[in-house]
Structure 1
Amino acid sequence: MTPHRIALYWAPEESDALHGRASTWLGRDAVSGAALDQPGLPGLDIAEVTADPRSYGLHATLKPPFRLANGYAAARDATAALAARTASFDLPPLAVFDLDGFLALRETAPCPALHAFADACVEAVDDHRAPSTEAEIARRRPERLSAEQRENLTRWGYPYVFGEWRFHVTLSRRLSAEEKAVVMPAVTDYLGDLPGVTRRVSAISLFVQPAPGAPFTIAERLPLRG
């Protein structure tokens, strides 16, 4: 059965303690699909605060979710070919940041290899992306985008690629200043020292969404062999 959408993501390995800890914060394991008991959050409903990122699973976007033009196997093979020619590299230590009102893990030092990796993922499988519908484009509110973002949306189906791309592992919905004052120290304390280590980027995580509105899960991790 062809999934509704697929995406190319970075996600920590299952053996990485960050996978278990941050997945528990979100309330779902993207590997097994299992619901996880979340920690408490003073004065706020953590399930509501994390609902959006929970549906996508713990990840950083490389190639945003897209509907398939040529079936799953063809897109999977193109992703595997990219992985085969891409070398692994070190990801800088991560930390919790405020990213335009969302809380996310972001890199603490520049990493040109990371940006080149994301750029390659956007390009390598784009022939397998079905064209965006008018409704999909409208949901991106193109009237609010910059000229470069609108061009990206038209060409690549997503505004935030190439020069507009920023690595981020989303941990919350957009927060008010008052909510951020609660959630930021809570998630920073909950994750502890786990984000702040150097880890190897050694695979492309292929995520799938089986049906519209369904949560994304990891179908396969394709090792980098370049």
Structure 2
Amino acid sequence: MRYAICFTPPASDPLSLVAANWLGRNVYSGDMLEPPAVRGLSIHEIAFHTAVPRRYGFHGVMKAPFHLSADMSESQLLRDLMRFAGTFAPFQISRLEIARLGSFYSLMPSAPCEQIQYLASAIVQEFDRYRAPLSEADIERSDPDGLSAAQFANLHRWGNPYVMDEFRFHMPVTGSINAVDMPRIESALRKIFEPVLKEPVMVSNVALMIEEGTGGPFRVHSLHPMGKVSARRIA
């Protein structure tokens, strides 16, 4: 079993519902869903192109999946994550947009968001003590020969190349897409997601996600509200 610390909107948020339908799985309940009807794309194509993000569920990772250190427990992780989340005030991402990262598509902030960068860096540092050391196989899967010097240093220090200054917040909605298929996939993504991307996205919870068995799907284990309890009650 692995854990990950992420952001994902509440289960009832329109963005969560649209993303669950597109990916074919609800990250909260684990329920499998029928893909939407999209002109120009078959349901088999959608299922194929969403296979990777469907396993991980709709989320933006802040601390990538990790095995729990032998001297740490899930109850300790839950307690510390609840405490930690309460020290950060909720904030907004002004807007998310469909964007391409390499060969796959994600939802990404339309403008730099310092708060999400800071939150992610703080989570990586605060919870690294919970992470079991990487195995040699883990390191090899990260393709160390293809990393920059900074990414290579991050891999060995934090267990993930893409943290700190290398971090870019994104919420994947496809796997790797062939260049020939990109125009059709991007058009479909815009039709499906843009109606729910018009408003700012509130970041008011940190999600603990767990992997169901070795190599299984991830789901939301718990949401940890940000901000002081008294402030949340007033709001």
Shorter-chain-normalised TM-score: which range?
A: over 0.9
Cross-structure match for 1:65: 65
What is the deviation of 1:43? 5.1
What is the deviation of 1:184? 0.4
- Equivalent positions of 1:73-222 (< 5 A) are 73-222=75-224
Local SS of the residue matching 2:181: helix
Determine if contact 1:203/1:222 at 8 Å carries over to the other structure. Answer: yes
TM-score, normalization by structure 1 = 0.95
Question: Equivalents in 2 of 1:12, 1:148: separation in Å?
Answer: 31
Cross-structure match for 2:232: none
Question: Equivalents in 1 of 2:14, 2:201: separation in Å?
Answer: 11
Which letter does structure 2 place at the counterpart of 1:19?
Answer: S
Which stretches in structure 2 are left out of the alignment for 5+ residues? 229-235
Determine if contact 1:40/1:46 at 8 Å carries over to the other structure. Answer: no
Question: Equivalents in 2 of 1:97, 1:183: separation in Å?
Answer: 12
Which letter does structure 2 place at the counterpart of 1:17?
Answer: P
Question: Equivalents in 2 of 1:150, 1:110: separation in Å?
Answer: 24
Which letter does structure 1 place at the counterpart of 2:14?
Answer: A
What is the deviation of 1:173? 0.9
CA deviations over 1:87-119 (Å, ceiling 9, x no partner) = 111112111011111111000112111110111
| Sequence identity (%) | 34
Which letter does structure 2 place at the counterpart of 1:188?
Answer: R
Moved more, 75-84 or 89-98: 75-84
CA deviations over 1:139-187 (Å, ceiling 9, x no partner) = 0010000000000000111100010000111011111221111100001
What is the deviation of 1:10? 0.5
Question: Equivalents in 1 of 2:198, 2:162: separation in Å?
Answer: 25
TM-score, normalization by structure 2 = 0.92
Question: Equivalents in 1 of 2:116, 2:208: separation in Å?
Answer: 17
Equivalences, count = 223
1:43 to 1:208, Cα distance in 2 relative to 1, 3 A: same
Cross-structure match for 1:37: 34
Which letter does structure 2 place at the counterpart of 1:16?
Answer: D
Determine if contact 1:9/1:63 at 8 Å carries over to the other structure. Answer: yes
CA RMSD, 1 decimal: 1.2
Cross-structure match for 2:16: 19
Determine if contact 1:79/1:124 at 8 Å carries over to the other structure. Answer: no
Determine if contact 1:93/1:199 at 8 Å carries over to the other structure. Answer: yes
Local SS of the residue matching 1:103: strand
What is the deviation of 1:15? 2.4
Determine if contact 1:91/1:201 at 8 Å carries over to the other structure. Answer: yes
